[in-house]
Structure 1
Amino acid sequence: MRFAQRHGFVWSKPYSRGGRKPVQGRDDVLRQGGIEQVAGPLEAAWETIRANLKRDCGARTFDGWLKPATLGDFDAEQGILDIVMPSQFMADWVRSHFGDRLQLAWTSALPIVSEVRVVADATGPKPSPLLILEDTPSEEPASSPSASAGAKRDPSAPKFDPRYTFDSFVIGKANEVAATAAKTLAGSDRVGFNPLFIHGGTGRGKTHLLHAIGHSFLDAHPGAKVVSMSAEKFMVEFVRALRENDTIGFKQRLRNADLLLIDDVQFIAGKDSTQEEFFHTMNEIINAGRRLVITSDRAPQDLDGIAPRILSRLSWGLVADINPADYELRLNIVRTKLDALPGVEMPPAVIEFLARRITNSIRELEGALNRIAAYAMMTGRDIDVAFVEEVLANVLRANQRRISIDEIQTQVAEHFRIRKAEMTSARRARDVARPRQVAMYLSKQLTPKSLPDIGRRFGGRDHTTVIHAVKQIERLRAADAELDADIRLLQRQLEG
């Protein structure tokens, strides 16, 4: 039974945005038992949700980010509601930080809403959104675009994130092979490898490449059937198909795909029946000449609990790894992401600081960038290194690699081609003393050790010697571009 029929009303008039009550008119009222009342289930739910968000998040966060949100279009046939933000940046930030909370709040408050999308407002004036209820009278003809939009939507089609394309994927040495292979598989008419197996640690861009492959493949092959799911969803849907005696339908849906994308295959480890079905699905796809892309956090040979014949199939195509991003790639990623954040001014020193200090994953680096931009916008403060250290205190602590003085001495000695023993010797020749001062300077910059501790590790020297070394190197860096470049290189090597 339809939501409208259940509640005995027909709504055919646009509702207002921002939680304001619509102007009451002839088409805005409900006639139920002879009593007319303002139709407003969405507005009522929105008012309640906004009040709860303000209470839970605090007035500052709510006023800065959530208050500008307004109700957008609602497709009742699909149950999809748009929450509209004034800019793309705000839409991305709210989607990232409050998307799940908005989804839960709406499905709890109004079950007819099955999906919430946070979108940016289009430029220029546009008509008020319409609430279109299936099987209800409407003044629009059935052939109009608004009336037929729901019918054209394929509910089974994968929803690839519009942000994750090849154009937005920053390429460096760490991911060059994987990115090139992904572009080739997605765009070429004939591919010399199948399947493509992409592996790498969390937050390195595997999911981004999967979505980019989906976008590019559909562009190159209009009308193609693409199926995208995680290995965990594969398992859940297979078990459901077994329980409902619908395994034939499950198999046909996957094996008829022109492109099958499976994310995080490691999650089927130890699931024998799921692995059996997965193996046969792989064989059907590959033997039929269709394309298969699989991702994992480990290389095939390192996957435990996976059947050997599956590992053999995974290794049969092209195995491409995504290594941890080096300093240059992280630097380019920050610069690229900043281009998508209009109005955010970030000095080069801060960009270099972020690229140098956040090394765990690209996802964490992007999240840190969004957080800095959000806090700067809310507080009105300029973005400098001190501000970043304050905002990202927990993130920086989590990313801090414990660099030892011994590592620094080894790296500096190799760079300047002296024996490591010279770091603790009494020799004062310039070709030895200068590298020793550089090592002391880096020990002060990259380790939490006190000045006396550093002095003791350099042949029992006094802390005043360390202070002199630090000041001397700071002065020389400003005057000697070659020495400054050497120290920058050493820092990247030690931190990377």
Structure 2
Amino acid sequence: MRPPASSPSADDTLARFVRLPENRSAWLAIQREVRRMVRGRRSSRLLCLHGGPGTGKTHLASGMLERVMQQLPGVSVRQLSAADYERLSAEGRPGSTIGTSQASFRMEESAGDSSGTVAGESPDLLDAQIELESLRDCDLLVVEDLQHLSDRASASLSNLFDHRQSRGRGVVLTCSPGPGLLTHLSRRLTSRMAGGLVVHLEPLSPRSRRRMVRQWIESRRLHVTPAVIHWIADHGQGGGARPLLGAVNQLEQLARLHPPPLDLPLVTGPALNLPLESGSDLERIAFRVAEQYRLPLALVRSRSRHQHAVLPRQVAMYLARQITNHSLVQIGGYFGGRDHATVLHACRKMEQRLETDVGFVAMIRSLQSELS
């Protein structure tokens, strides 16, 4: 029996989510699934959130995990990207029945070997199989960026969903296009997705962008003129929130150097340069680095300071600086809305490591050659 549920924090990820007409349905769906789990009810329906970059899919999915773990101590949750799932599926395939029936491991010791290793199966294979098994049995599973899944992994993922559905265990999916547009995936998988609750997060309207910028500015107690809010909302590229957040982060830096209120002439000068939305070259670099370190793309791009995310993010920033023509501000904006000084620091850290770590030099050169 689980301990009684605790009350949600007023400052957790879901509480900080800016609710707008474009994302209200998705926010309500997440809240409903959280309540269902907290009340001990099982869910046999997939929840699929789809929309363009920066519309809030990852924020909502991560917020749901955080809220569930907060209110249900001891609950088991897993979050990974579709690319990570495909890698695990490939690594765990030899000799494994995971995805079709209960996994069974051949635990026969090789003749004369008392070390406890498994005959014919490498430690990496067993690790992958154990990890896949945890995806079957956890209380809540989040799989992100289904658009990056290949067709060859569709069957095993469909089997995973069927297994979890039969046991009433929650699944949340995110993807850019809706299930009907994922034509490269098997019909079996897309029909499973379409059969669940599918919620579209729409691009932000100009009014919603201004509201979002205003709320972020007020939460940080920044003093700006109304014209600044309108200018940032109107000039951030794309319909998502990331470039807006990057601009607000830069405003916070400006506020430390200039007396309030920050006005339009200051903001539109060289001091502030709006970051890019998810540019294809930056996304390609971030995706490859995330793959190299076996991390979700969202974690590499996030503001998380977790030790597992810091080095890969610094590597991606360094490669972006070396390979692309984007400014430090634009690179920082893409990686969690960071300022130019953070990117410069990351590049210097990488340069220092390149002087002493031969293995690191080989990896960076390989990535540069592949991405250039």
TM-score (normalised: structure 2): 0.58
Q: Write the letter of the residue equivalent to 1:362.
A: A
Task: Give, in angstroms, the shift of residue 357 of structure 1.
Answer: 2.9
Q: Distance in 2 between matches of 1:248 and 1:220?
A: 30
Residue segments in structure 1 that go unaligned for 5+ positions in a row:
1-161, 400-496
The correspondence for 2:183, drawn from 287, 290, 304, is 304
The correspondence for 1:215, drawn from 56, 66, 82, is 66
Decide whether the 8 Å contact of 1:193 with 1:318 is kept in 2. Answer: no
The correspondence for 2:225, drawn from 347, 352, 361, is 347
Decide whether the 8 Å contact of 2:48 with 2:198 is kept in 1. Answer: yes
Task: Give, in angstroms, the shift of residue 394 of structure 1.
Answer: 5.1
SS at match of 2:200: strand
Q: Distance in 2 between matches of 1:226 and 1:291?
A: 10
The correspondence for 1:196, drawn from 47, 65, 75, is 47
Alignment of 1:26-175 (within 5 A): 165-175=13-23
Decide whether the 8 Å contact of 1:346 with 1:384 is kept in 2. Answer: yes
SS at match of 1:232: helix
Structure number with greater CO (CA < 8 Å, separation at least 6) is 2
> For each residue in 1:71-99, what CA deviation from the matched residue of structure 2 results, as whole angstroms up to 9, or x when unmatched?
xxxxxxxxxxxxxxxxxxxxxxxxxxxxx
Q: Write the letter of the residue equivalent to 1:351.
A: I
Task: Give, in angstroms, the shift of residue 175 of structure 1.
Answer: 0.7
Q: Distance in 2 between matches of 1:291 and 1:191?
A: 7
**Greater C-alpha Rg:** 1
Decide whether the 8 Å contact of 1:194 with 1:292 is kept in 2. Answer: yes
The residue aligned with 2:274 is 395
Matched-pair identity in %: 25
The residue aligned with 1:290 is 169
The residue aligned with 2:149 is 268
Kindly report the root-mean-square deviation, in angstroms, between the aligned alpha carbons of the 2 structures: 2.6
* 1:398 to 1:237, Cα distance in 2 relative to 1, 3 A: closer
> For each residue in 1:299-326, what CA deviation from the matched residue of structure 2 results, as whole angstroms up to 9, or x when unmatched?
0011131111000000111000100111
1:358 aligns with 2:240: no
* 1:267 to 1:163, Cα distance in 2 relative to 1, 3 A: farther
Task: Give, in angstroms, the shift of residue 217 of structure 1.
Answer: 1.5
SS at match of 1:395: coil
Q: Distance in 1 between matches of 2:216 and 2:258?
A: 21
> For each residue in 1:174-211, what CA deviation from the matched residue of structure 2 results, as whole angstroms up to 9, or x when unmatched?
11111100111122234776100000001111110011
The residue aligned with 2:357 is none
The correspondence for 1:369, drawn from 237, 240, 248, is 248
* 1:282 to 1:173, Cα distance in 2 relative to 1, 3 A: same
Deviates more, 1:347-356 or 1:207-216: 347-356
Q: Distance in 1 between matches of 2:150 and 2:11?
A: 31
> For each residue in 1:202-259, what CA deviation from the matched residue of structure 2 results, as whole angstroms up to 9, or x when unmatched?
1111110011111122233221110111111112233333473325423321101100
Aligned residues: 235
The correspondence for 2:89, drawn from 232, 235, 238, is 238
1:319 aligns with 2:198: yes
